[in-house]
Chain A
Amino acid sequence: MAILVIAEHDNSSIKPATLNAVTAASKIGAEVHLLVAGSACAPAADAAAKIAGVGKVLLADAAQFADQSPENLAALVVANAAAYGHIVAAATTVGKNFMPRVAALLDVAQISEIVAVETPDTFVRPIYAGNVLATVQSSDAIKVITVRATAFEAAGEGGSAAVENLAAAADLGKSKLVNRELTKSERPELTAAKIIVSGGRGMGNGDNFHRLLEPLADRLGAALGASRAAVDAGYVPNDYQVGQTGKIVAPQLYIAVGISGAIQHLAGMKDSKVIVAINKDAEAPIFQVADYGLVGDLFEVLPALLAELG
């Protein structure tokens, strides 16, 4: 049976995490169909058709899918689920929101945030903030799966899938979007960045983030991240948070500045290729996972670092 991947998009382009979900689906070993549900989302469907490994794009274009509300999206997926053995989505805040609803309506378990596909019914997923990896086997007829994007390569371009229109049911009208306050930034998205510069409570205040960390991020073409402590203290918005319950990242280079390294933070970044820690406390747990540790006062180190980079 084919595999249905639910695309995340903004009606004009496909979100990067979906590309990783397509790769995870390909590893299960069956034809991959990609569902694009949105409003005036034909450009997103066209982009979906070009993803390598996608056999068919299903397009559901209706006003009630504009905001990808979980009630309408889950109902659409369930109405089309019978033809599929697996239903897959990236474990983003959108995927985490609607997928369990799909699983419940199908009366099947969900396998959350898989990091590896062992066989078509057996998957590896992190538990206990990533301190343990569990290999789980599903006995359900339809496997509902969310995918940890950092564990799979992004699917490339080069596909030429046909786009098929799906009929949309009536709007369930269960919730209404009032507004979205999205952080605007010229920097790369955290979950897609090759380099991340991340600050913790040691930054002292939001102004220091702006004054000391942002220039370093911009010099390196990096995304900006933060620990929970820095977000809780109001230095930066919530969507900067890296950790067990924030974003999971695995860049080529992760620079942790003034971050002590609570296990909940390590859970979000310990799969980074190279980790640099800058902290004045030589005993900080972050140094136990850092490839390069620099013990020092960040208020002196950051300007020096910027000067060295030129």
Chain B
Amino acid sequence: MKILVPVKRVVDYNVKVRVKADGSNVDLANVKMSMNPFDEIAIEEAVRLKEAGIASEVVAVSAGVTNCQETLRTAMAIGADRGILIQTDVELQPLAVAKLLKALCEKEQPQIVLCGKQAIDDDANQTGQMLAGMMNWPQATFASKIVVAGEQATVTREIDGGLETIEVALPAVLTSDLRLNEPRYATLPNIMKAKRKPLETTNPEALGVDVTPRLKTLKVAEPPKRSAGIKVADAADLVMKLKTEAKVI
């Protein structure tokens, strides 16, 4: 069984991004980039399925600029067998990425596409669901537990009221939530080994996909800042202020 794992290169989750002075976009110059944390969880899960003898091959895919190669090498250091870079300098939106992945699915014929549930840069939470729709496959999103047996996946999902467990027939798209696993740290030998794993490069034209953005960003701005208030002395002071000053209790 082959598992395809899309990985996105994003601003590191510890970085506080800043808006460019002209409000045209966020300033990404000299900012630390990393693999989207949810994608790291997805790679880890796929590698565990391979280690458990369920998956036979884990293929990491990234779409974007040449530097996405680094993200693919990270995925291979965690344990992906090979990488595919869909190289383009065009701004990629979820619909376009889903179309690129569809083209790759038709070529690679994976049984499972395991995505991160959302990327922490655009917070869109769309790509996996879009791909499932385009492929006419079932989807199991926001997974906190995945059990694959035969031609079926049993997935526990994090939903607003608690948890739900669903069964989907494969092939299917699954997306990872935070508590699916804790990704391992790539060891130095595995980082070295990852450098020699195959990395194929293609592009949207070769895959026959139009990636023209459908949404135009007119401007970006920082939300109104919340300023720190006051320190209260003790519980009595707090209750008094909440009653008489803030009037919220």
Contact = CB atoms under 8 A, between A and B. Distances in A.
B53 to A, nearest CB: 24
A97 interface: yes
Given A132-B220, A132-B221, A253-B248, A174 B169 contact: yes
Contacts of A122: 218
A276 B94 CA distance: 37
Contacts of A92: 160
Contacts of B157: 93
A291 interface: yes
Interface in A254-310: 263-264, 270, 273-276, 287-296, 301, 304-305, 307-309
A134 B238 CA distance: 37
A66 interface: no
A228 B182 CA distance: 14
Contacts of A182: 161-162
Contact of B138 (A131, A174, A178, A288): A174
Contacts, number: 254
Given A175-B168, A290-B228, A293-B231, A108 B214 contact: yes
Given A132-B19, A175-B167, 6 more contacts: A74-B133, A104-B98, A139-B216, A183-B162, A288-B226, A289-B226
Interface of B: 11, 13, 16-17, 19, 26, 38, 93-95, 98, 117-118, 120-134, 137-142, 144, 154, 157-169, 177-179, 213-223, 226, 228-232, 234-236, 238-239, 241-242, 246, 248-249
A244 B37 CA distance: 13
Contacts of B131: 104
A169 interface: no
B162 A304 contact: no
Nearest to B228: A288
A140 B214 contact: yes
Dominant secondary structure of chain B at its interface with chain A: mixed
A294 B232 contact: yes
A195 B17 CA distance: 30
A238 interface: yes
A295 to B, nearest CB: 6
Given A94-B159, A136-B217, A112 B229 contact: no
B217 A93 contact: no
Interface of A: 69-71, 74, 92-94, 96-105, 107-113, 122, 126-140, 174-183, 191, 195, 220, 228, 231-232, 237-239, 244-245, 247, 252-253, 263-264, 270, 273-276, 287-296, 301, 304-305, 307-309
Given A179-B164, A239-B161, A293-B229, A112 B125 contact: yes
Given A97-B139, A129-B123, A273-B248, A290 B229 contact: yes
Contacts of B122: 127
Given A109-B94, A305-B239, A100 B222 contact: no
Nearest to B245: A292
Nearest to B102: A104
B120 A129 contact: yes
B211 to A, nearest CB: 12
Contact of B246 (A138, A291, A301): A291
Contacts of A109: 93-95, 213-215
A104 B134 contact: yes
A137 B215 CA distance: 5
Given A127-B121, A128-B121, A294-B238, A239 B158 contact: yes
Contacts of A293: 228-232
